[in-house]
Amino acid sequence: MEILILIAVLAVLVIGGAVYVVRRPRGTDLEPPPPVAGPSVPGTTPVDDELAADVEEALGAVRDESARGADTATAPPPAEVIEPVRRPRFRDRLAKARGTLGGYLGSIRSRRVDDQTWDELEEALIRADVGVAATGQSLDELRATADAESISDPEVLLDRLKSQLKERLAGGDRALTLQLAPGAPDVWLFVGVNGVGKTTTIGKVARRQALDGYTVIMAAGDTFRAAAAEQLDTWAQRTGSDMVRGNEGGDPSAVVFDAVQRAAARGYELVLADTAGRLHTKTNLMEELRKVRRVADRDPGNVTEVLLVLDATTGQNGLAQAQQFTEAVDVTGVVLTKLDGSAKGGIALAIETSLGIPIKLVGLGETVDDLVEFDPDEFVEALFA
């Protein structure tokens, strides 16, 4: 920068000197220069005012350019705008499920509570996949409340029903269990029939746990579906997780065992194990699943969650699946997928009321951030909104 300033000054001096020589009158070479107005300093040469002004102007321009360059060089780059992940709302994603109840609720609200009100409530809950048993229990309790409080206003009755359903869903422990014992990795087994979204669910759970700071390894225990291992490997790469896979058609329990051993050797905290899609009506397949469960729990492994992945659109068939898998492998929680689709939603109430298995996670969409914790209050409000 000093070189640029020096060059500019020299250029102005040369140009100014040339102009001065051209403008100087002929025949006065030997005459002394005219006196300079203003005070003079002894021992100095008077300076041409026009030349000084030109030099000062040139220096000012150089300084301005230098300042602009310095500002550009030192100014920090604009901060990257990172959009926060917006948790999907149940109310936004349960529009189809809400539509199942909407017609009945509109009819109920149009008149005072009478016998037809109870018939419509029963039909509405059954059509919403709450199930016959859970519907009967809910309406028996609601009738007792209505009689005790002499409820005749339909809005009050529906408010009591919402409060009652929230209470039914309030008791379950929905936290995912991690014990994190040194040298003993936690193992979460994911079970369910084909097509419910087990492998995708594992990938989304891996991302959640990785963001929470846990180290994850996946076990591709679904050795009977050709694309399962490749799909899980893609999720492992996305989430920065390790993965163990076996030969196609190999023993699933061996894959899970190898994953547990690697986790213990390398200090991974959590093993997420995929299992083959089981038909809950096939005895031999359920027996093999029991074997996977035993092997996964063998030292140093520690099975702390057995998560049953259910497709919410299957309705009451999902309840039958939950019963069979619970008997086979001691299911600790349910992941309810596709709740934003054509699901009627009541299956969540049926599972918890009939089996006492807590719903821990629900899928409200296709993106990686659409797997969220199940919130009973928000869920019930979304159905009745």
User: Strands of 242-245's sheet, edge to edge?
Assistant: 242-245, 216-221, 270-275, 186-191, 302-311, 333-337, 359-363, 371-373
Task: Give yes or no for residue 72 having a pLDDT over 50.
Answer: no
Assess if residue 304 is contained within a domain. Answer: yes
Other beta carbons less than 10 A from residue 225's beta carbon: 16
Residue at 81 is within a domain? no
* Spatial separation of the C-alpha atoms in residues 101 and 268, rounded to whole Å: 46
The three-point CA angle 90-85-307 to 5° equals 60
Q: Is residue 170 part of a domain?
A: no
Is 129:345 a contact under the CB 8 Å cutoff? yes
pLDDT of residue 359: 95
Three-state DSSP state, 48: coil
Q: Which domain holds residue 283?
A: 186-331
Q: Is residue 382 part of a domain?
A: no
**Buried/exposed code over 229-244 (b: 16+ C-beta within 10 A; e: otherwise):** bebbeebbeebebbbb
8 Å CB contact between 319 and 350: yes
pLDDT(180) > 90 = yes
Q: Within a domain: residue 343?
A: no
> Tens of pLDDT along 56-69?
554 454 454 444 44
Give domain status of residue 209, yes or no. Answer: yes
> Hunting for tokens 């005459």 — which residue is that?
31
Asked if the structure places residue 70 within a domain, the reply is no
**Beta bridge pairs of residue 189:** 273, 306
Residue type, 224: F
CATH of the domain at 220: 3.40.50.300
Tens digits of residue pLDDT in 254-264: 999 999 999 99
Q: Is residue 111 part of a domain?
A: no
Reply yes or no on whether the pLDDT at 45 is more than 80: no
For 91, residues 6+ apart whose C-beta sits below 8 A from its C-beta are 378, 381, 382, 385
pLDDT at 96: 75
User: Which residue intervals of the chain are DSSP H helices?
Assistant: 2-23, 49-74, 90-93, 95-109, 115-127, 132-149, 154-168, 198-211, 226-239, 252-266, 283-296, 316-329, 347-355, 376-384
Higher-confidence position of 82 and 241: 241
Q: What is the pLDDT of residues 87-108, one digit of tens each?
A: 788 888 787 777 778 888 889 9
Is the model's pTM score more than 0.85?
A: no
Provide the pLDDT for residue 60. Answer: 53
Q: Which of 383, 376, 354, 359 is nearest to 137 (CA)?
A: 354
- Domain count of the chain? 1
Q: How many CB atoms lie within 10 A of CB 160?
A: 16
